[in-house]
Amino acid sequence: MTDTRQAILEKNFEVMRLNGFQGTRSDKIIEDLGITKGAFYYYFPTKRDLGYAVIDEMLTPGYLKLWGQVRQQTGTAPDRLVSVIRLVASRADSQNIRLGCPLNNLVQEMAPIDEGFKQRLDSLSQQIIAMIRETIESGIREGSIRPEVNPTGVAHLVWASVEGSFSIGKASQSTGTFLTAIEALVSYINSLRT
């Protein structure tokens, strides 16, 4: 049964990437998976429950694992930040640029209209911002980042820049545009060095 639930989650995530949450049709997922309505609604009584589960069980763990590497890598704080940002960029193939960042897409679509989505998406963003801020603070302590740098402000800027890079890449349907923005962010981070 857990396999059915996981299959529903994965298929819903795939369809949400293509059509957005509001454009996702439960009946189509049921048909595509060859399951009964009863099986679908047993695990997810409402479409909203399914959307929340995608955030809680797929997006959040994936993003936290990726950005958590900033804490696990060796090197100076700027080196660790640049490494994770380049890792994010390395995963941005033409399909990911065409479809956009799943988190950013949901923020744009659902945060203004559904409090549960807003809370989950904001919580995830705040956790990532906290990891970036802690990395910058450690860089100031270790002497690899200039002491006058505002860790909170820079953390927000870094996160907004990564998400914004996906947005302009998606708008132009250009991996090159995305990478140009990412490299500018890397240059900015390098400018914070002592």
Q: Where are the domains of the chain?
A: 1-45, 48-191
**Inter-residue long-range contacts of 53-60, CB under 8 Å, 24+ positions, other chains counted:** 53/9, 54/9, 54/12, 54/13, 54/16, 55/106, 55/117, 55/120, 55/121, 55/124, 56/120, 57/9, 58/9, 58/10, 58/13, 59/102, 59/103, 59/106, 59/124, 60/120, 60/123, 60/124
Percent of the chain clearing pLDDT 70 (strictly above): 99
pLDDT of residue 25: 94
pLDDT of residue 65: 98
Average pLDDT for the chain: 97
Token output for 180: 């140009």
The whole-number average pLDDT for the span 44-49 is 97
User: Would you report the helix, strand and coil content of the chain in percent, each value rounded to 5?
Assistant: 80, 0, 20
The whole-number average pLDDT for the span 30-43 is 96
Read off the pTM.
0.95
pLDDT of residue 35: 97
What kind of architecture, by CATH, is found in domain 48-191? Orthogonal Bundle (1.10)
Neighbour-count burial of 97, counting CB atoms closer than 10 A to its CB (0-12 exposed, 13-18 middle, 19+ buried)? buried
> Which of 1.10.10, 2.40.50, 1.10.287, 3.30.450 would CATH assign to domain 1-45?
1.10.10
pLDDT tens sequence across 119-167: 999 999 999 999 999 999 999 999 999 999 999 999 999 999 999 999 9
Cα(56)–Cα(143) distance, integer angstroms: 37
